[in-house]
Structure 1
Amino acid sequence: MMSKEKLNRINYLSKKSKAEGLTVEEKEEQKKLRTEYLQNMRQSFKNQISTLTVIDPEGNDVTPDKVKKLRKK
């Protein structure tokens, strides 16, 4: 999970970009922070999916094979 300071920085750079524009250094920083944020979000989503178990109304485990493979990794 990203720190609150990094999230605040992402938001600040976004607002500044819309209001007045960013310097080259700020654009690079923004790109780096966004990439890190997306990696964290994807990993978090994978973790949530890997704990998922799907049970049909008859009580059978019908969890997709892709999810089962994620658990084994």
Structure 2
Amino acid sequence: MLSKDKIDRLNFLSKKSKSTGLTEKEKEEQQSLRQEYLQAFRKDFRRTLDSIEVVDTKH
């Protein structure tokens, strides 16, 4: 997963965008952090799904 610093920065940028708005550089940074977060989330989610084993006890 993303480091705590990056998640904190992403949250800060999100709050700032709602209150005062972001500069173009901050928008680019926010988009980059979002993409990095989504990639890490998908990777972790895929790993979780791959580790699930379905057991059918009715047969």
Q: Shorter chain as normaliser: what TM range?
A: over 0.9
Q: Which residue of 1 aligns with 2:3?
A: 3
**1: CA distance, partners of 2:20 / 2:33:** 19
Q: Which residue of 2 aligns with 1:27?
A: 27
1:57 deviates by 1.4
Q: Which residue of 2 aligns with 1:70?
A: none
Q: Whose relative contact order is higher, 1 or 2, with alpha carbons under 8 Å and at least 6 apart?
A: 2
Q: Root-mean-square deviation (CA), in Å?
A: 1.0
- Stretches of structure 1 lacking an aligned partner (at least 5 in a row): 60-73
- Stretches of structure 2 lacking an aligned partner (at least 5 in a row): none
Identity of aligned residues (%): 51
**2: CA distance, partners of 1:3 / 1:57:** 41
1:58 deviates by 3.7
1:12 deviates by 0.1
**2: CA distance, partners of 1:6 / 1:26:** 13
Aligned length: 59
1:43 deviates by 0.2
